[in-house]
Structure 1
């Protein structure tokens, strides 16, 4: 069972990371899917997508939940029926979830050169300190992950990565930074935590405590 990483943090938060190595048949065993999930699974043409979907149900099990405890709102945001908060992410052969007492978000991304070509779409304030970056791909991936995590947590239509979300300057060795979103008269302050492994970057956010 490749539950490869478990991370705990404030607000009774736990991150679970899965490396998808198993067959689809193996992943379908030992879990019970609700009817909506069964219907969704049948619409997925990609085997890796299906395996990712199923591995997330195993992560739910590791967190003490099952597929019947999970539902999605009209915006596609996942929720747990007991009122706790959950965020989900999938990239290639990795999936991850975070479960917390507070609103949160998580993102996992493969570090790829192509992110430099699309940086103009999501980099605003951060351009000032990125000009001195010695790890541009890694730094851009952290920034994207933090902004994607904020978007997942806030879940408001029209929230823009470039216009409304800011990520403070950071060093890769620190594995954390601060970030905020300002939108429709509201401001959200977060701490962003990140780690890298196997050319992937995992980022998750929690409300700032100071």
Structure 2
């Protein structure tokens, strides 16, 4: 396993990133899938997508430190959860990479490859206040961080019918190339959830993790 990131994240959470170089056969031999997962795998067309499916589950089990692997199951909205675990989990994958996050609070993760045409889609997912934070020299990276952050928040929320532009707001004012944190707000109907964001910028992709912010309870007066 070529683990290029495995760190604590907003303790007691953690996240990980795996560069997938292994064959599908090797991956199949190194993960025991549960019946529902086998059914899902059988529906996936393309070796690359199957490798990503398998790698994400191996990575999440590796991060768990458990001797026996729990099934990664999905609820009626498609949100994954790890069997017999109290932690929230999320996975993401792209060509040759798999990522995972686990935390007691709501959490989500997204790995997004750089695509220059993302600018053409900006009006669909970036609001006016977010546009004001874009810097000419770093705009392409910022576009991808915003998109991946909103994907991560969407996964953490775990319900459908979210509009990236209308319901999710990213704040990374003061962005610099060495900055690795930001915040987000999800606001829809009666829901208002703040998230802490952590991100890493690699040569050809970005990785963003979102964890629900827990506010301290004020002492009794």
Distance 2:105 2:151 in 1: 17
Q: Spell out, residue by residue over 1:56-102, the C-alpha distance to the aligned partner (whole angstroms, 9 max, x if none).
A: 12112212356543211011100122221101101111110001111
The residue matched to 1:88 in structure 2 has which SS? strand
Deviation at 1:192, TM superposition (A): 0.7
| 8 Å Cα contact 1:181/1:187 also seen in 2 | yes
TM-superposition CA deviations, 1:9-62 (whole Å, max 9, x none): 224111111111111111111211111111221221111000001111211221
Aligned to 1:78: 80
Query: In structure 2, what is the equivalent of residue 126 of structure 1?
Result: 130
TM-score (norm 1): 0.93
Q: Indicate the RMSD between aligned Cα atoms, in angstroms.
A: 1.5
CA contact (8 A) 2:37 2:73 kept: no
Give the counterpart of 1:91 among 90, 94, 110.
Answer: 94
TM-score (norm 2): 0.89
Local SS of the residue matching 2:151: helix
2:45 corresponding residue in structure 1:
45
Q: Aligned runs of 1:1-210 on 2, under 5 Å?
A: 1-63=1-63, 64-65=65-66, 68-81=70-83, 82-124=85-127, 125-130=129-134, 132-168=135-171, 169=173, 170-209=175-214
Aligned length: 209
| Secondary structure at 2:102 match in 1 | strand
